[in-house]
Amino acid sequence: MNRKHKKMLVRIIIAAVLTVALNFIPTDGYVRLAAYLVPYFVIGYDILKKAVKGIWRRQVFDENFLMAVATVGAIAIAFTRSGDYNEAIGVMLFYQIGELFQSYAVGKSRRNISELMDIRPDYANVERDGGLVRVDPDEVEIGTVIVVAPGEKIAIDGIVCEGRSSLNTSALTGESLPRDVDVGDAVISGCVNLTGVLRIKTTKEFGESTVSRILDLVENASSRKSRSENFISRFAKFYTPAVCFGALALAILPPLVRMLFMSLAPEWGEWVYRALTFLVISCPCALVISIPLSFFAGIGGASNAGILIKGSNYLETLAKADTVVFDKTGTLTSGSFEVTELCPVDMERERFLEYAALAESASSHPISKSLTKAFGGTVDRSAVADIQETAGEGVTATVRGEAVAVGNAKLMKRMGIDCREADATGTTVHMAVSGRYAGYAVIADTVKPTSRSAVSGLKRIGISKTVMLTGDGERVARTVGKELGVDEIHSRLLPADKVERVESLLAERNGRGSLVFVGDGINDAPVLSRADIGIAMGAMGSDAAIEAADVVLMDDDPLKLVKAIRIARKCIRIVYQNTVFAIGIKLVCLALGALGLAGMWLAIFADVGVMIIAVLNAVRALFVKRL
């Protein structure tokens, strides 16, 4: 509890004690009025002050004005009728208790969200004059080597130039398992170094680093308001003046009707009391506070799970998702080639991989890298000579005195060597040694471990159609799509073809639900922009992903998509619950107040009680069950 909350709590206690004590002191008339005004001003002076300021600035109609008019009017009625000021003071007292609780709840939820996103580093260690100097991350230039000790946050994006360690990336990705890094690996700011000392050469300025851009996105998310929030803002703008004039009419018209048309006593005091009760009930606090808080909590809960949602409008659209379109490479598959099948002929497996890796050692092609990776050992470049690469065919070289050819069927045919055709999905790489066929390896882009669970999870939560778009050939696309259980598969697509396909899916949908496109955020930028919601995968190090998408998954786990939709739907459910609950209770209590069946005590429940319940319900959006 901060100083402001403690001060308000003291005021509440003093006002409550004074009010109770005055009930045991026999006073009357102006003395009694003056005595009760002391606790009234102790608890309500700030509300009266704000109401006067609002009138002075011509911004009259707000909850402070409503509460000031209602309680001052109740005191005036009590003075002329019963002398019982407890009700007026009690209304102000419970209103302030509600405000204290609301302020504490909202502040706590905001602090929780801030703590979840507490990834901004306070300093960077730079070597100067043989020692380490702590400097502001903003002062570090591109190309500077920074030193990160165990337990410290990486201040700026860069590449490890010395050291090995494990990184805690949970604040960025929501992933609890540490990530191992070695020399040459790219690392991003905001991660916590767990074990070894790292020397990192920075590749960006602090303002352009991942942590700065993430914090900027979260902080500015509130500027992109949902339709629900805009509706509540417009509603409150017209609602408050309307109820003020309604209360005025309730105070004046019924007494005049009684006096002029029914020849009865007007009973001004009774109807003014009803009008004041009407004003207390009408305060729109529950709606005005709880709806934005629900979206804010939803965005905060998502960020804790490693999901960045750029605004509550995107949260609202995501909740309506019924069609999900995936890019294949880098989204459902890892985007990196691996040896998935190996069939050597009259040669040991290890020797086959060694000869293939040596022959391909001078090439930077992804297939060459995958063969080197499969070999796993140290490539002795002195054991290979006469390397020649033929575009579109492969490589020939001399390895330990033997002629080796590694490539596709065209290369084998040109060299007059019969080769086998692999009955597997992927790229087949054949090898011949000393003019004899030595076997083949199949290299393919592997499916991510959670992709199948993601597709089935989407169907479980009610997504009606899943689609996969890829530039790969039909055979590869069909194999991957069938393995994952995707409903529709479209292959051999250029970026423009993907946009065209998404537009046709949007046309088929006829405005029902929303269409989500999930891609890597780099070559899929046009499609990300065209879909109702663009979601970028694998934002670790991808600037284009953060820029192009409406939602960013801070790791490359497609299963996070299911959680993102669940968070969005839970948040929208809470918004609807609060809206229906608040308006429903208000309408019932307004009717009771107008009919004289509800006094000030019920009125304060309709205002403060409903607000407290709505705020507590809103904070639930912070928490989502694990998948």
Number of residues written out for the chain: 627
Contacts of 447 (CB under 8 A, 6+ apart): 332, 333, 334, 480, 483, 484
d(CA 543, CA 381): 36
CA nearest neighbour of 316 among 623, 557, 624, 621: 621
130, two tokens: 């043989």
Q: Is 607 a catalytic residue?
A: no
Q: Quick one: CA dihedral 16, 18, 22, 25, positive or negative? A: positive
Alpha carbons 324 and 141: distance in angstroms, whole number = 41
* Order of all β-strands in the sheet with 384-390: 333-344, 436-447, 427-433, 402-407, 394-399, 384-390
d(CA 176, CA 169): 7
Cα separation, 493 vs 470, in Å, equals: 6
The closest of 448, 445, 444 to 561, measured between CA atoms, is 448
Helices (H), 510-606: 525-530, 543-548, 559-594, 600-604
On whether the CB atoms of residues 409 and 422 are closer than 8 A, the answer is: no
Q: Shortest CA distance to 407 belongs to which of 396, 423, 420, 398?
A: 396
Q: Which of the 8 DSSP states describes residue 222?
A: G
**β-bridge pairing 124-128 and 131-135:** antiparallel
Out of 62, 157, 327, 557, the active site residue is 327
Which residues are annotated as catalytic? 327
